[in-house]
Amino acid sequence: MIESPDSEFENENDSQEEVIELQENIIEALPEDKSLVVSEDVFPDSLLIVPLYDRPLFPKMLLPVIISEETLGKVLLKELKGPLRYVGLVYSHEPEDDSLTNEPSIIEKLSKVGAVGKIVQAAKHGNDPMHIIVQVMDRFEIIDIASEDPIIRAKVEYITETGEEESEDELKAFSVSIINLIKELVQLNPLFKEELGLLMGRINLKDPATLADFAASMTTASGKELQEILETKSIKTRIEKALYLLRHELEVAKLQVKISKRVEDRMSQQQREFFLREQLKEIKKELGITKEGPESETDKFEARIKKLKLSEEAKERIDEELEKLQLIEPASPEYNVTRTYLDWLT
């Protein structure tokens, strides 16, 4: 059990000097080539658990994590001044067991598989939540909960990926498919291009396992879907699942582009019709074809329409007839027919 750290953190506002001292103590230099290939670090068998509430994190990524729980932040702040370097990053979700009648505990919400993260930077400013930057390393499975008050520590076992059943050519084919899908997504969504640019120099895209994780992390899939990929040991199965998520992401992106274009075209058409109508009014006024003011025929009909409760279909039909009336010469026989029809409709 961990002794509550509250007494050791009576002052909630850490000074800037304390933050700088903390940074200097825990920042670990990244390799010069910025490659996040897993080093020969010996990971501990017991990890302090950091719950993730949005989505799980995948190995080979370098990402910021916000520690929203105050107690966990205090413990991390204390232990990072000592030997602590690794934390367990575990996705927290609502359990699927319908038999649970009470609110599930944080332990029941934790997934069984997570990823060990090496803390490379941390900062705590005043009352703001603590921020850490983690280099995500290997997958692990929770074997036992060692303690859970006030924070969770778990005994873990690191997972070995399996790829013996897949041929090199098969995995290469899957990898090419993923890369092609990513290229299509980048063209449709600039956000993917930005994310891709940030990660390209940090991961080995020639490694199918890493590529599958990277592809999944790029999508807007749910936390549950991403957790399923994190828990998949078979590289072939994992890359197939990542391909499915990417294809779905591509379809959504295409639909978004289609909808945006449709809305843009509709707005352009409406703007064009508005300007043409205004031009027509000015031309007719110059020619003396129409009168300005409330006594004009169209104004009288529009005033009547405002007092009526019309269905969408009826309003659309009346608008069409009004437009026709504005375009017809008053001396034309059709003008009187249209005016009489509008008079009947309104």
Burial class (CB in 10 A: 0-12, 13-18, 19+), 98: exposed
CB neighbour list of residue 194: distance below 8 Å, 6 or more residues apart: none
Q: What is the pLDDT of residue 67?
A: 92
Q: What is the pLDDT of residue 294?
A: 37
The structure tokens 């304390």 sit at 18
pTM, whole model, 2 decimals? 0.65
Burial class (CB in 10 A: 0-12, 13-18, 19+), 279: exposed
Residues 110, 57: Cα–Cα separation, whole Å: 14
Backbone angles phi, psi at 330, to 5 degrees: -60, -25
Residue pair 29/16 in contact (Cβ under 8 Å)? The answer is no
Pairing mode, strands 62-67 and 113-123: unpaired
Report how far Cα 213 is from the mean position of its chain's Cα atoms.
16
SS (H, E, C) the chain: CCCCCHHHHCCCCCCHHHHHHHHHHHCCCCCCCCCCCCCCCCCCCEEEEEEECCCCCCCCCEEEEEECCHHHHHHHHHHCCCCCCEEEEEEECCCCCCCCCCCCCHHHHECCEEEEEEEEEEECCCCCCEEEEEEEEEEEEEEEEEECCCCCEEEEEECCCECCCCCHHHHHHHHHHHHHHHHHHHHHCHHHHHHHHHHHCCCCCCCHHHHHHHHHHHCCCCHHHHHHHHCCCEHHHHHHHHHHHHHHHHHHHHHHHHHHHHHHHHHHHHHHHHHHHHHHHHHHHHHCCCCCCCCCHHHHHHHHHHCCCCCHHHHHHHHHHHHHHHHCCCCCHHHHHHHHHHHHHC
Q: What burial letters (b/e) apply to 285-318, b meaning 16+ CB within 10 Å? A: eeeeebeeeeeebbeebeeebeeeeeeeeeeeeb
Q: Mean pLDDT of successive 10-residue segments in the chain (346 residues)?
A: 40 45 44 44 91 94 90 88 90 68 77 95 86 94 88 93 72 88 83 67 76 91 96 92 94 88 79 76 67 58 77 80 73 75 75
Q: What is the pLDDT of residue 334?
A: 76
What are 18's two structure tokens?
């304390």
SS (H, E, C) 178-239: HHHHHHHHHHHCHHHHHHHHHHHCCCCCCCHHHHHHHHHHHCCCCHHHHHHHHCCCEHHHHH
Q: What is the pLDDT of residue 98?
A: 52
CATH architecture, domain defined by 6-158: Roll (2.30)
- Given the candidates 1.10.3470, 1.25.40, 1.10.10, 1.20.58, the CATH classification of the domain at 168-259 is 1.20.58
Report how far Cα 220 is from the mean position of its chain's Cα atoms.
5
Domain residue extents for the chain: 6-158, 168-259, 292-346
